[in-house]
Amino acid sequence: MSSRATPAVAVLMGGPSAEREVSLTSGRECAAALRGEGYEVALVDAGPDLCARLTDLRPDAVFNALHGRWGEDGCVQGMLEWLGLPYTHSGVLASALAMDKARAKEVFRAAGLPVVDSVLVPRAQAEAAHVLTPPYVVKPNNEGSSVGVYIVHEAANAPPRLGTGMPETVMVEAFAPGRELTVTVMGDRALSVTDIITEGWYDYDAKYKAGGSRHVVPADIPADVAAACLEMALDAHCALGCRGLSRADFRWDEGRGRDGLVLLEVNTQPGMTPTSLSPEQARVAGIDFGALCRWMVEDAGCNR
């Protein structure tokens, strides 16, 4: 931090991705919490003038509350490195790897972490015929928050018709049955396991709309499965080279015990909204929202 009497933090939010609205909510919540912790806060809606705005502001730290492409895929991180501004969350390489689901899986496999089989195919091929035997999932290779996820059920006679926002190359992934579990990693510590209970798929609405899902934390699961989740989340965080806060998502086929765990992905910038999972896990661990945001700012840095 600088010699200012009150440390200044720029909170990046919004941006041009498909997750803009979620990011705006995250940014406002984090800004309010940081003001409560005594920081001077500037809210910055990330646009084409972002570099110029940050150059003018010269904050002591940047709190990155962006979600989706450009904000959590290494692009903004590279700009912040160039400007020499300490920032929260992961650096350029870890952010880019985690956002590219196919490459992240290669890293996880090399680290001995369990993942499901998947292929990258042209969108037209995914719409023309079943690429995998149903059930399977079709999704973008580089989006988050369940944006553009299509589940092809076992009884499906035809492949899905994909929406206009889907990219030209998509990931087709074997469907992982079971319960939805997630673990937040804070620095070098895995906080807890949350069991996410929904009526159907844990989609965008289930993640961000009030009442869209119910969270059981700590999850009511066998101790060995919980321990495996915590260990795998920390291993995945380290394998990608993540920093600060991350969240690992799992599916668990409970009939297979610990062997039923599958790592889906790692989110390098978990949601920070009132219904978000990471703030909830921190709270259960005795860390309130203000303290969590303060820790993230104090952890900020370059060369991440």
Amino acid at 271: G
The residue out of 37, 70, 88 marking a domain boundary is 88
Give me the active site residues, please.
19, 145, 208, 247, 249, 265, 267, 271
pLDDT of 145 reads: 46
Instruction: Please report, in angstroms and rounded to a whole number, the separation of the first and last CA atoms in the chain.
Output: 17
- Host domain of residue 167: 118-174
Whether 1 is covered by a domain: the verdict is no
pLDDT mean across residues, the chain? 91
Residue 117: is its pLDDT beyond 90?
yes
> What confidence tens digit (pLDDT) does each residue in 144-192 have?
545 678 999 998 999 999 988 788 999 999 999 999 999 999 999 999 9
**Tell me, what CATH number does 255's domain have?**
3.30.470.20
**Same domain, residue pair 229 and 102:** yes
The residue out of 153, 174, 195 marking a domain boundary is 174
**Same domain, residue pair 81 and 129:** no
Whether 125 is covered by a domain: the verdict is yes
Whether 301 is covered by a domain: the verdict is no
Residue 9: is its pLDDT beyond 90?
yes
Identify which of 93, 40, 47 has the alpha carbon closest to the alpha carbon of residue 66: 47
The residue with tokens 């087709």 is 172
> CA neighbours within 13 Å on the CB side: how many for 216?
11
Ranges of beta strands (E only) in the chain are 8-13, 40-45, 61-64, 118-122, 136-140, 150-152, 169-174, 179-186, 189-197, 214-216, 245-252, 261-267
Give the total number of structural domains in the chain.
Answer: 3
